[in-house]
Structures are given as C-alpha cells and as structure tokens.
Amino acid sequence: MNSVINRLDEDSLARQRALDLASFIVEAPAGAGKTELLTQRTLRLLAVVEHPEEVLALTFTNKAATEMRDRILGSLERAARGEMPVEAHKQLTFGLAQQVLAHDAAQGWQLLGHPGRLRITTLDALCASLARQMPYLSRFGAQPGVSEDAEAHYATAARRTLEMVESGGADADIVAEALAFMDNNAGRLEKLLIAMLGRRDQWLHHASRIESGAMKGEVEAGFSALIERDLAAVGALFNVRMQTLLMPLARFAAANVADGHAPIADWHEHLRSSITDLSRWQAVAGLLLTGTGTLRKTVDKRIGFPADKSFADQKKAMLELLGELRGVAGLEAVLAMLVKLPQPELSEAEWSTVECFSRLLRLAAGQLWLAFQEAGEVDFIEISARAGLALGDDEAPTDLAQALDYRIRHLLVDEFQDTSPSQVGLIEKLTRGWMPDDGRTLFVVGDPMQSIYRFRKADVGLFLRVRERGIGDIRLHHLRLFRNNRSFPAIVDWVNAAFPGIFPVADSPEAGAVRYAESAATRPPRHDAAVVIHPVIERTGSDSAGDEARCILSLIRQARRAAPDERIAVLVRARSHLDGLVAEIRRCAPDLRFQAVDIEGLDGRQHVQDLLTLFRALHHRADRVHWLALLRAPWCGLKLADLHGLAADDRKSTIWQLMQDEARLARLSADGRQRLGHLREVLQLAFAGRARQHPRRWLEGVWLMLGGPRCLDAPDALKDVDAFFALVDKLASARQLTAETLAAHAAELYAPADPLGHAVQLMTVHKSKGLEFDTVILPGLHRETGGNESSLLLWDEVAGADGEEHLLVAPIKQKGAGNGEPTAYDYLKKFEAERAAHEAERLLYVAATRAIRQLHLVGVAVADDQKDDGLKPPPAGTLLDLLWPGIAQPVFVAALARDDGAAAEVGGIDPATFVSSLVRLRQATLPDSLAVLPEGLRPADNPLGVDEVETSLSLEASVGTLVHRYLELIARSGLEHWSMERVAALLPVCQRWLAGQGHAAEMAASGAAEVIAALQTTIGSESGRWVLARHPEAAAEQAWSNREGELAVNHVIDRVFVVDGCRWIIDYKTVRGADSELPQRAASHRGQLDRYASLFAGAGLPVRRAIFFPCQGCLVELDGAK
C-alpha cells in the first residue's frame, strides 16, 4: 500500500513540474491521463506568450488533434461560464484556462471567437504546410495531392526501373547486374523494389553515401564494433573463472577430434571481447552447445571425450562445468547467439552487390519522382522529405526556418514513442538554435511501452535516445507518470505482476527493448474486476478453433447479461484471427449486434467476388477460369453438366466463342440454353457499348442488366456493391484500373461497422490504441503472425561498444550461394527479429491495458503425452509464448488434468467429394395450386425483368425503374431491414445511376430525390408496409411469359402474394398528383391488371387487383376499396 501511495505522490510532483517553463520528456503509461496533461501544458504556455501561434502542438492523427483542440476550447468555454468542475485535476485545468482568458483579454486575441489561431495539427499536415511555403526549395512547384496509398506509384516506378535494362548505357548495366543476382527473377526483384520504395526515408540518404564510394571500411568497422559488443555480453556471463576451468578441457577435446575445435587447440589466455578472438569464442560455443543451441547434458567421443576409463576425470570435470553453466541465467542464449555471428568483413562480391543495389534503388527513387509528377500526387514520405528541404540544414537554414525560429517558441509533441527518424529530424530542424534558458521549450510525451507501429516506421529507440541525449542542443528533463485512472486495481495489479517478467530487464535502443514501468491504480477496488485465463485444449480430432469461438461468444453473452450498458471489445493481433468468431456469431447468435472495425473484408463476400469475376471476364475474353465462374455466378447459374457440355471438349476456344456455337448450345438442357441465351444477349449489348461509357457506368450497367440486384440476399449487400463501384470509379479516374489493381484494392475494402453494435466491438489491437472498454477479450493467444519479409538491402545505424553510431548494410542472400555460414544479412535480420519480438511484448501490454473491469485471455494449447506437463509449448513468437512460463502454463496444465477424456469426434466435410451448392436466380416458390401451371405459362428466362437497355428513358421513366427495383429489393430482403436512414443513404447511388443513364447532373439530382421520397413515403405508410410485408406465396418483380397466338408475350408483375385465401396482384405506378386523382389513374390500368389476372385463371384462387402509388403511399383496389 505504501508503494502505491509513494508512486501517486511521485506522479503528482511530476505533473506539477510538467507545467514549469522548461523542456521535458514525459513517460505516461496507459490510463495516465496524458491528454489532460497536454491540455494543461498548452494552457500554461498560452498564458505567457505574446501570440497564440507561438505554441505549436503536434499529434499523429486528425482525431487526436481534434480531441486536443476540443479539450482546450471546452476548458476555455467552461472558464468563461464560470463552471468550476468537481474533480481536482479538472479544477487545475479550470484555473489555467482562467489565466489564458485573462491574458487573451489583455492581448486582444479573442481565441473563443477565432479558434483557428490555436496551432494544433498533425505532423503530416505540418510537413505539407512547410513544403507549400517554400515550393522552389521543396521542388514541388504547384502543390501536389497526397496519396494515402501510393502502392500503385511504387509499382510503376519499379516496373520502369527494370525496363531500363533495354535502354543501354550504365543504368542498363546496373539493372542487368541486379537481375543476374536475382537469377533473372524480374517479378521478385520488382516486389522487393516496391517494398523498398515504401520505406525510402530509411535508406535514401545511406544509398547516396554508398554510391559516393569509400564506405566499405566504415561499414566493416561498424560490424566489428557491434560484434565486439556482443562478445562483451558473453564475457560478462562466461567469466574468467569459468574460462580457466574450460581451457584444459577444451584443449583435451580438440586433441581428440580432427578439425572441430581447432581454434581452441592452443587456448591458454582468457578470451577478450575483440574481433580477433571471434573464431575462438565460436569454437567454445560449439563445444558447449548441442546442434539445437542448448547446453549439453552429456559428452562423448564425437566432441573429444572418449569413453576410455583413463579419461574419466576429464569427462567428469566437463559434466560438472556444464552443470554449473546451466545455472547461469541467460548464458545459453548468448552462447547460441555467438554461433550466428558473421565475420565483419564483406567480400568483394558482397560489396559489389551493395553498390549495385544502392545505385538501383537511386534509379527507382528517380522513377518514383517522375511517377509522382505525372500523377500530380505524392506520398507522406515525400511530403516529409520536401519539408526537410524547405527548412534547410544546420549550415544553411532557409528563410522559412529562420522565420519559424522566431514564430515558434513552444513545441509540444504527442505520442512521441511512435516517431520515425525523419520525424525526429524534422523536430530537430524546427528547434535548431534553441538554447537552454532562452524561453523556448520542447515538450514531448509518450509511452515507450505502447510503441507498436514499426510497420509505420516508428522506432521506439528514438524515444530512449532522446530521453538520454535530448534533441539537437536541447536536453530534456525526464518525468514519469504512474497513475492509472482507467483500470480497477485487479487489472493494474495483474499487469504489474505479469509484465516485468515479459518485458526485458533493461532498455536497449538498438534492439527496441523497453523495460516495464509500474503503474498505480487510482480507482477503488471492485469485487467483480478480474483477469481470467481461459484455456482451450486441442486433442486429435477436436475442433479447437470452434471451441475457442464458442468460448468467446459465451464470454460476450455473460458480460452482456451482467452489465448490458457496458462496452466489450474483442482484440486480436491480426484481422484473420477473427474470421472464426465472426462466422460463429453469424451462425449461432444472429441477433447479436457488433461492430467489426476494418475486419470483414468485402472481397470475401460472394457478391463482391462475383463482381470481380465479371470485371475480369469482360476485360479478358481469354481468361477461361473467370468466364467459367461468370457462367456459374447467380445471374446465369449454369449447372455443372451444362458447363461440361459447353466447354469440356474444346480447351482452345474462348468461352465467349463457344457461346456463339449454336450446335454446341443444343447439347445443353433447356434451362441452360435459356440462361446462357440471356447472358449472351446482355454481353453483346455490353461489348457494343463499352467504348462509349465511363468504366464504372459501363460495368454497373452490365451488372444491372444481368439482374445483379436480384442476386443480393444480405441486407447490407447494396452498400458493398456501391463501395465496389466507387472503387472502380476512383481507379478509373486515376488511370489505374486493371484487374490486378482492382483486386488488390478490393482486398482493402471493409464492411462498414454496424452503428447499433457499439456495445460489442471486434478490432485489432492496433485499432484499439487509445481506447478503453469495460471488458476486454483477447483471443488467439496461440496464433502466429507472418514473419519479417526479405529486403533487397538491409540498413541499420546502431551504437557499438565504442558508443559511436555505425552504418551497417548488407545485401539479400543470393539463391544457392554459401554453405550455410552466418552472413552479415542474417546478422542484421536478427536485429529486425529482435525488435519484432519486443514489439509483440508491447502489443500484449497495450491489449491488456484497454480493460477497465475485466480482462479475458483465451488461447489454445495442444495436448502431447510425450511432454512432461502433457502439453506442447506454444509456438515461439506468440502471445501465449510470452505468457506461458509461470502465468498461463499452470492454468493450462490444470485444465488438462480436469479434461483427460478423449475428445468427441467432430463431423467434417470430405474435400474429395465436396461440391458446393449452386446459388442462382430462380423462380419464386410456388404454392401447390400452381405446381402444375396453366398450359403455355412458364417463368420467363429474363431475370432482370426489363425488355430493353435503359439508356433512352425519360427522367420520369428512369425514376420509376429505380423505385421498382428498390421496392423489389425491400420486399425480398425484408421490410425490417429498411429504415428511413438507410433509404436516405441511397441518394448518391441513385444520383450516379441516373447520371449514367444520360440525364444531366441537375436532373439526376432531382430524380434521385424523387426516388428517395417515394421509397420513404412507401415504408412510412400503412398501405406500403402491408404491400411489402412478408406474405404467403409472395413474389416481387416476377417475370412470366405465355403464348398469344404465335407470339410469346412477357409479363412482369410487381407484387404477388396470398392473403386470406385471395391472390393479390399489385402493380406500382410512380406518378405525381393529388390523392383524389388516384382512383381515376388506377382505373386506366385495369386492362393491364386483367391480363396479369388471366395468367392465374386456372390456379384455383380468387384474384384481387390493385395499383400501389409509392409517391403517395396509397393502395387503390380496382374491384373496390381495400
């Protein structure tokens, strides 16, 4: 208890000091109230500056900037109203806001009337602003747009770079040399270049230095310094006494084997942490370790200890020493690391490859700049780089830099643990020339334990270095906060107990290692607050994934019952880890509303896959796979027998060519011929009109003619489809529309979150950063994630044992080269793996600290009778692996002991015999009375229900078409899924469709408004809801045909159903006019309704006919009032 009080006292002192006019770096752990502290600091500074613009606050996201601005303005408004808050910390904010208002009045700022004078922005926005202010130096000229996804530009640059091999000259030689190194695998080299361009801020300045020459010695000196640092770490554990004991034993072993221990055959002096002793160190490690990197438990003649009794003393001494070494914590790991250390010298061939790749990357960067110029947009990396150019350097600061030097007096940076090297470089330039006690201050705040954005180039080592060394000439006072205002003590105490053993014991900027810092709970204890581990045991034949999903669903239900108003979050490392849970919820708890934030990919939904198939088929007639898929899609729905009959015996012709072969079509079933005939007609029209329409309008028109809307069953499917067509529109406008780019971007489309499902949220841990939830469920602890991808060149700058920063570089390993010996590339990749492992520790911390009341940890362990505890260890690198020793393992072992029976057999599907069911457009379910149709009557083969392409309709007719189609969709999907808000959201969709039919923009907007008004009037009226409600034997927009003389006549009936023994036939008419005019208008359509009624003359039920007017919401029965 005393330690908690002490921590809270330290926290209070740190918060007070943070308001001094000095420079600080503040560590604020999860739940510490960091934003409130930033608000107070900003208010404190605003109370002393001459102009509010002298205070600049930087954040990483627009959301964070908006929140901070709102907090400051809210504090000022409350102070202006004199509303003193109850909470002590908010009272401090209130007092600071009053001081700002007094200063504001004296200076005449009028901040509340002119809030734009508050300079709170994102780092990216600041960079863009700087580049705009110095267009010549930033090389932008006219300010370009900013692309949030520049992958297409990287691909263009990479492709053009490789195409230079045909150009001749020195550049072509560089490309040719790189291709030869990659075994002429141009595809792989292109992918590596694309990846490198996406992080060029990390290597471009290094590539320039490499290209300038004379760097080989410096790089090798860097490797030597780092290797000597590693040797020093080994020497600290494998001390002089141990070495003295091992020396004679090592010489003995070396004398009894041929070559294995040659470096230690004459070992008489203690090993130093010098590169000259590297081979001897590695020989020592080889003697002590097994092939799997563990300390030996036995020794034999294979390593130099013969079984002869005369050598028993040496063998005994060796085993005793090995026993002692096993008791030295960490020694086994550093000895295993020794074996993987490379020689520091790069061969001439390796260095030649480094120089070649450096030049190649510079060429690619140049091509990227050209691609940016052509597109008129750049990425954030380019914006940041040009901002740096606009500020100049230490020797030659620009006029802008000097102006900013006078304008900015106080700089605040939020989430500093997530900064990249280029961002820290920008901050250093902004504060260039600042001196201690000159009245200017830098205030950075963050939590290195929450640094989880390496994939965005964040480097937690920067936080650690700035904490120790400062930025430029500014030394920062270090403050640490301890309060956790979020979680109840049960959560905080568990985190404080668990994470010191999960996090490393010491900070390491080079390795990205951060030691754990305790927090102190400020909330009073609560009886139901807890951390619970839920073990799932996987046995042969068990459904562990299903068991885990059901466990999570059970936890959600329990939490909802216990506290219906509290928020629940299910957090995972990767989106794919939620697939099983989402499927389980859809299957077992369809009534459970939840928000899946960027989780459910639209490209996994069948209707979007069908649209991708349609695009690929239409754009590539020789793409046989997608043409066959097109014929199988719901709008055609050919059976397998018909597909086989069409295409099985001709693999050379395109499917489109086969569709024109009447003799071949005659082999198909009558149903198949009808379906294929309809598809052929639509595609003939489509191909004829392709060049005359915008790609989006053309593709959407084909989909509509095929009857795409009638293939949609899910309530939100129309939103998915609209998002897909919007993507087509975007890519077409950017001249990037290809099948590959469309598929790649479609993979990044996600289903919108359910606005009513806010109580249960499913998201990645990264998305949860900065949020809090009453209950947090963390499943998938056992799941692995993808490993680090290879890079063309690996670069690093790390401090060696000499304390100096060293540049390291190594090329990717050539396929088939070497004999498995450690390389410089492996060594640098080890650093990346280390950093990734440490970030996984922090990811677990972030997930755990989102919880307010309860934290549930769910994972799967595999039963294994061969293991001492009956369980296989978790896969390395998983979150369960981090929790396993001392935390999760006892819980899983106990669960195994309770559940020692055999797992039940789980039924499965045999993939060898599985055939998916065919989903396709078909006639509505018919009542028994129509099981045998009147002679000459059959379902029509045109599933769209329109007889001509709708490109020449009047606006009134187009509006009617849209109203009919949406009323059909509402009737089919269920009226309960359609609110006024959902209908209103269709406005832009309708407007685009009408514009695509050739109507002017103003007319399209007017027509779309009419459509929405008609739909809302319908679902808001009693008659409209009755017409669209679920009824027996109901059908919507059902197409029929019968024979009149020698002609087949088509009929499309808008709505048919049976109520109280009568069949209702209803037609829709979208007309303007007063309600009093409607009976007369309805009477004018009596002949049409009579023809519809005659179709059912022999069906055995009385028929009632009516006209429904959507614009008025009125139903008029022709045989009398309803």
User: Does 522 fall in a domain?
Assistant: no
User: Does 521 fall in a domain?
Assistant: no
User: Does 829 fall in a domain?
Assistant: yes
- The verdict on 996 and 1061 lying in the same domain is yes
- The verdict on 1031 and 1107 lying in the same domain is yes
Q: What is the rounded average pLDDT of the residues 257-274?
A: 85
Confidence (pLDDT) at 395: 54
Q: What is the rounded average pLDDT of the residues 548-553?
A: 91
- Give, in order, the Cα–Cα distances in Å from 849 to each of 489, 493, 855: 12, 11, 9
- The verdict on 244 and 206 lying in the same domain is no
How far is Cα 366 from Cα 382, in angstroms, rounded to an integer? Answer: 12
Which among 780, 632, 807, 947 has a CA at the least distance from the CA of 221?
Answer: 807
Q: What is the rounded average pLDDT of the residues 710-732?
A: 82
Q: What is the rounded average pLDDT of the residues 293-320?
A: 90
Entry field: residues in the chain? 1122
Q: What is the rounded average pLDDT of the residues 279-303?
A: 91
Q: What is the rounded average pLDDT of the residues 155-163?
A: 94
- pLDDT band per the 50, 70, 90 thresholds, residue 429: confident
> Which letter does DSSP use for residue 1000 in this model?
-
User: Does 117 fall in a domain?
Assistant: yes
pTM: 0.75
> CA-CA-CA-CA torsion for 296, 301, 305, 309, nearest 10 degrees?
120
Confidence (pLDDT) at 958: 85
Confidence (pLDDT) at 909: 37
Residue 293 has pLDDT above 50, yes or no: yes
Confidence (pLDDT) at 933: 32
Name the token pair of 939: 């379902």
Confidence (pLDDT) at 501: 93
How far is Cα 247 from Cα 620, in angstroms, rounded to an integer? Answer: 72
Dihedral over Cα of 846, 851, 852, 856: its sign: negative
Coil, strand, or helix at residue 146? Answer: strand
- Give, in order, the Cα–Cα distances in Å from 537 to each of 555, 578, 886, 1003: 17, 19, 18, 64
Residue 2 has pLDDT above 70, yes or no: no
Confidence (pLDDT) at 120: 94
- pLDDT band per the 50, 70, 90 thresholds, residue 31: very high
Confidence (pLDDT) at 860: 94
Confidence (pLDDT) at 939: 36
- pLDDT band per the 50, 70, 90 thresholds, residue 150: confident
- The verdict on 587 and 617 lying in the same domain is no
Confidence (pLDDT) at 403: 52
Confidence (pLDDT) at 435: 85
Which among 941, 901, 857 has a CA at the least distance from the CA of 678?
Answer: 941
- pLDDT band per the 50, 70, 90 thresholds, residue 388: confident
pLDDT, tens digit, for every residue of 326-375?
A: 999 889 989 999 999 999 998 888 999 999 999 999 999 999 999 988 88
Confidence (pLDDT) at 818: 67
Mean residue pLDDT across the chain: 85
Residue 910 has pLDDT above 50, yes or no: no
- Alpha carbon 641 to chain centroid, angstroms: 41
- The verdict on 869 and 932 lying in the same domain is no
Of 113-117, 750-754, 929-933, 985-989, give the lowest mean pLDDT range: 929-933
Confidence (pLDDT) at 260: 61
Q: What is the rounded average pLDDT of the residues 1013-1032?
A: 93
Confidence (pLDDT) at 147: 79
Of 168-172, 243-247, 377-381, 708-712, give the lowest mean pLDDT range: 708-712
Confidence (pLDDT) at 134: 61
- The verdict on 544 and 571 lying in the same domain is yes
Question: In the chain, how many domains are there?
Answer: 6
- Alpha carbon 689 to chain centroid, angstroms: 38
Contacts of 392 (CB under 8 A, 6+ apart): 137, 398, 401, 429
Residue 906 has pLDDT above 70, yes or no: no
Confidence (pLDDT) at 485: 94
State the number of CA atoms in the 13 A half-sphere of 107 facing the CB: 17
User: Does 142 fall in a domain?
Assistant: no
Q: For residue 864, what is the domain's CATH number?
A: 3.40.50.300
Residue 392 has pLDDT above 90, yes or no: no
> Which letter does DSSP use for residue 295 in this model?
B
Confidence (pLDDT) at 20: 95
CB 680 within 8 A of CB 664: no
- pLDDT band per the 50, 70, 90 thresholds, residue 394: low
Residue 309 has pLDDT above 60, yes or no: yes
> Which letter does DSSP use for residue 886 in this model?
I
- Give, in order, the Cα–Cα distances in Å from 212 to each of 36, 209, 301, 359, 895: 49, 5, 54, 10, 63
One DSSP character per residue, 527-544 reads TT-EEEEEEEEE-TT--H
Confidence (pLDDT) at 965: 84
How far is Cα 354 from Cα 809, in angstroms, rounded to an integer? Answer: 8
Name the token pair of 700: 């959407």
Q: What is the rounded average pLDDT of the residues 595-604?
A: 78
- The verdict on 289 and 419 lying in the same domain is no
- Among residues of the chain, what percentage have pLDDT more than 70? 89
One DSSP character per residue, 463-531 reads HHHHHHH-BTTB--EEEE--EE-SS-HHHHHHHHHHHHHHS-SS-BTTTTB------EE-SPP-TT-EE
Confidence (pLDDT) at 969: 82
How far is Cα 534 from Cα 780, in angstroms, rounded to an integer? Answer: 11
Residue 496 has pLDDT above 90, yes or no: yes
User: Does 996 fall in a domain?
Assistant: yes
- The verdict on 155 and 82 lying in the same domain is no
Confidence (pLDDT) at 391: 73
- For the ranges 396-410, 465-479, 788-802, the one whose mean pLDDT is highest: 465-479
- The verdict on 588 and 607 lying in the same domain is no
Q: What is the rounded average pLDDT of the residues 275-300?
A: 92
- The verdict on 735 and 612 lying in the same domain is yes
Residue 915 has pLDDT above 80, yes or no: no
pLDDT, tens digit, for every residue of 1043-1053?
A: 555 444 567 78
Confidence (pLDDT) at 731: 86
- pLDDT band per the 50, 70, 90 thresholds, residue 924: very low
- The verdict on 951 and 890 lying in the same domain is no
Residue 27 has pLDDT above 90, yes or no: yes
Which among 591, 639, 915, 627 has a CA at the least distance from the CA of 757?
Answer: 591
User: Does 1087 fall in a domain?
Assistant: yes
- The verdict on 762 and 841 lying in the same domain is yes
Confidence (pLDDT) at 950: 38
Confidence (pLDDT) at 397: 56
Confidence (pLDDT) at 902: 33
> CA-CA-CA-CA torsion for 955, 956, 959, 961, nearest 10 degrees?
-110
How far is Cα 664 from Cα 649, in angstroms, rounded to an integer? Answer: 10
Confidence (pLDDT) at 226: 87
- What are the two backbone dihedrals, phi and then psi, of residue 260, each rounded to the nearest 5 degrees? -60, -35
User: Does 67 fall in a domain?
Assistant: yes
Helices (H), ranges, 134-239: 135-138, 151-163, 170-181, 186-197, 204-211, 216-237
CB 364 within 8 A of CB 161: yes
Of 239-248, 616-625, 704-713, give the lowest mean pLDDT range: 704-713
The H or E element spanning position 938 is strand 938-939
Confidence (pLDDT) at 705: 84
> Which letter does DSSP use for residue 50 in this model?
S
- What are the two backbone dihedrals, phi and then psi, of residue 99, each rounded to the nearest 5 degrees? -65, -40
Confidence (pLDDT) at 121: 93
Residue 201 has pLDDT above 90, yes or no: no
- pLDDT band per the 50, 70, 90 thresholds, residue 398: low
pLDDT, tens digit, for every residue of 812-871?
A: 988 877 667 889 999 999 888 999 999 999 999 999 999 999 999 999 999 998 888 889
pLDDT, tens digit, for every residue of 512-550?
A: 999 999 999 999 999 999 999 999 999 887 888 888 989
Provide the domain limits for residue 250: 239-327
pLDDT, tens digit, for every residue of 86-97?
A: 888 889 999 999
Q: What is the rounded average pLDDT of the residues 149-154?
A: 86
